[in-house]
Every structure is written in C-alpha cells, then in structure tokens.
Structure 1
Amino acid sequence: MKLEPDQSGDYVLEPRFLAQRLSIEEHELQRRMRLGLVTSRVECGIDGDKGLKRLTVRNRNSVWRAIVDADNRIVSEESFELEQAAAAAN
C-alpha cells in the first residue's frame, strides 16, 4: 500500500484502514482522535535504514507500526498490544 503525505509532509491515513489495524470501530477511533487520545510518531531511518521511515500509532495499549520506504510504500507492518509485548519480553 502506498501512503500519501500531505503538504506539510505528514502522513494522512484513512480512518477505516487505521481502525482495522488497531482493532477498533472507525467512529470510536475518530472520537478518540478528536479527544487527543490517539498518538502517532514518525521516525526517519539512519545508517542502514536511511530512506525508511517508521510510523507508530498508539491507541491505549493498541499499537500499529509500519515501515515506509522512500516511495511512501508500506514495506512491513505489525499490530500488537503493549501488555502482550511486555509479557513476551519477560
């Protein structure tokens, strides 16, 4: 899938796409976004990952993370719950 950045370079994701990945209803995701309860981060790759970006979106304990290449295509993605990730690390 190809993502389209807006004029400021930020990625704009379709609510339906993101809601599916966060296992939440679309209208509830939009409500939480309006309330500022959904956070996102974009990190640019360095060294061997130069040209890649990592997008992370978090809603409570649900996380969706994607790696995007220089052509703005998702090359990998994962969805997980923070509680599960912490338990797996122990």
Structure 2
Amino acid sequence: MRIERDSRGDYVLNPDELAPKLGLSADELRRHMKAGLVTSLVEAGQGEDAGLSRLTVRCGGAVWRAIVGADGSIIQEEAGGQSEAPPRAPSI
C-alpha cells in the first residue's frame, strides 16, 4: 500500500487496501466512516525521525498504525487490537 497526500497535504488512504488491515470489507469501512466511527491521528517525527510520520487509524477495537516516509512509502506497519468488534454502522 502506498499512501498519497492531497493538495492540502492531508494523507489519503485507499479504503480497499486499508479495510482488510482493520478486519473489515471496504464497504463496511466506508459505512463506518460515514457514521463517524473511524478516527485517525497523524504524528510528525521529530529529531532523528524528522521527515517521517506515524499514522494511526481506529475503528472500534481495531487499530492500524504505520510509519510513513516523506515519499509516502510505508516503512513499518502493524495491525491489531481486535479485542472488541468494530461498532456497527447503519446500512445506508
């Protein structure tokens, strides 16, 4: 998975590639996003980690984290935290 940035510099993740990392189908992930049940956090690296970013995406108990280089390449990633089922999003 390669991570792109939009014209504002915000990270853009492909739901088709992200969903399996959270244990969801792409359609489920989209429903959760529309329902406001997906959160994300971007942390900029400092010091020796300058130029890197850590992205964290959460949906219920599922978490995906990645360290991303300035070029959008994933340097390291982990997924887990399935201790609880993701919240149910309404079918729209």
TM-score computed with the length of structure 1 as normaliser: 0.86
| Alignment-derived partner of residue 5 in structure 2 | 5
Q: Which amino acid aligns with 2:49?
A: D
The number of residue pairs the alignment matches comes to 84
Q: Alignment identity in percent? A: 52
Query: How large is the Cα RMSD of the aligned pairs?
Result: 1.5
Distance in 2, Cα, partners of 1:30 & 1:2 = 19
1:66-85 matches, cutoff 5 A = 66-81=66-81, 83=83
| Structure 1 unmatched ranges of 5 or more | 84-90
Higher relative contact order (CA 8 A, sep 6+): 2
TM-score computed with the length of structure 2 as normaliser: 0.84
| Alignment-derived partner of residue 54 in structure 1 | 54
Higher helix content, 1 or 2: 1
| Alignment-derived partner of residue 29 in structure 1 | 29
| Structure 2 unmatched ranges of 5 or more | 84-92
